[in-house]
Amino acid sequence: MEDIKLEIKDLHMKYATKVAIEKMNLELTPGIYGLLGPNGAGKSTLMNIITDNLKATSGEILYGGENIVSMGSAFRRLIGYMPQQQGMYDQFSAKRFLQYVSAIKGVPKKQAKEQIEKYLQMVGLDHVAGSRLGSFSGGMRQRIMFAATMLGEPKVFLFDEPTAGLDPEERIKIRNYISKISGDSIVILATHVVSDVECIADKIILMNGGNIIKNETPHELIRGVEDKVFEMKCTTEDIERLNDTYKKGNIRQGKDGLYFRVVADEKPEGFETIKGEANLEDVYLYYF
């Protein structure tokens, strides 16, 4: 039985004077890992090192106990990578584009034909297989990119902001597709959109400044801030002052007025305050 395990050992990446990844250690087995963090946290750098688009300054990544750099193309064939920026040829039909990607991946023609039909059907675009990509909506293009990522049936999937710019319906579709493939694969989903991972991730990895600051289940992370979430009843006149004091506050309209929601170590003073029910967005706000 194949040992599907990715081990990141003492991984370090430095650009001139900036450290992008700092002595990272992480072990990944089949499941979905949500990679959350602000811009510059090191998420994209980590994904580019895993895909061998970047060479780390030091450290190593092992797949099944073997260094991925030594494995070379053998490891790259095991990867499905869906970048944030779509690299597509608008004049190609959906089917022609997937044939092109399967050829680049080295998928044998018979298998490619079967997989293209399978994944076009999976993403609900088999009825427009002959249509030009230039005529597709943003959501349809993302679904084609998802199908392309599946070609070759990889064991390690990396999705970089896969729902950026999509409407809620298309975002749900992409999330559902990702959820379906996680049974015997390692799935890394880097995003700023907390809702993309709160329902489907087995673990959430919080990154900042090239470091992993938390690596826990969504439930564990939420439990860690459940006593730090407060809602203060306020007026519109209070809001500017509260924003100066609580940089991470959100405002909601309740039945009886405005409530300013904050994540803080201490209960705010001077306002009618109720304890809020913590969620994963509160976790993000607390750490970032």
Tokens of residue 207, six digits: 């990154």
Q: Using CB atoms within 10 A of its CB, is residue 233 exposed (0-12), middle (13-18) or buried (19+)?
A: middle
Q: What is the pLDDT of residues 150-201, one digit of tens each?
A: 999 999 999 988 887 788 888 888 888 888 887 889 999 998 778 888 889 9
Question: Tokens at residue 184, please?
Answer: 């015997």
- The better pLDDT of the pair 254, 53 is held by 53
Are 123 and 115 a contacting pair, CB within 8 Å? no
pLDDT at 148 over 90: yes
C-alpha–C-alpha distance, residues 50 and 8, integer Å = 9
- Answer for the pair 241, 251: CB distance below 8 angstroms, yes or no: no
Q: Which residues contact 277 (CB under 8 A, 6 or more apart)?
A: 226, 229
Instruction: Determine the Cα–Cα distance for residues 287 and 204; give it in Å rounded to an integer.
Output: 13
In the predicted structure, residue 79 carries a pLDDT above the cut 60 = yes
Domain boundaries, the chain: 6-222, 224-287
Walk across the sheet containing 250-254 and list its strands: 250-254, 257-263, 229-234, 273-275
- Directed axis angle between helix 109-122 and helix 138-150, to 10°? 140
User: pTM for the complete prediction?
Assistant: 0.89
For residue range 32-72, list pLDDT tens digits in order.
999 998 888 899 899 999 998 899 999 999 999 999 999 98
- The counts of H helices and E strands in the chain are 11, 14
* DSSP state letter for 93: B
Task: Give me the amino acid identity at 77.
Answer: R
Q: Which CATH superfamily is domain 6-222 in?
A: P-loop containing nucleotide triphosphate hydrolases (3.40.50.300)
The encoded tokens of residue 165 equal: 């710019």
Can you tell me which residue has the tokens 């991925």? 68
Q: What percentage of the chain carries pLDDT values higher than 90?
A: 55
Does position 29 have pLDDT exceeding 80, yes or no? yes
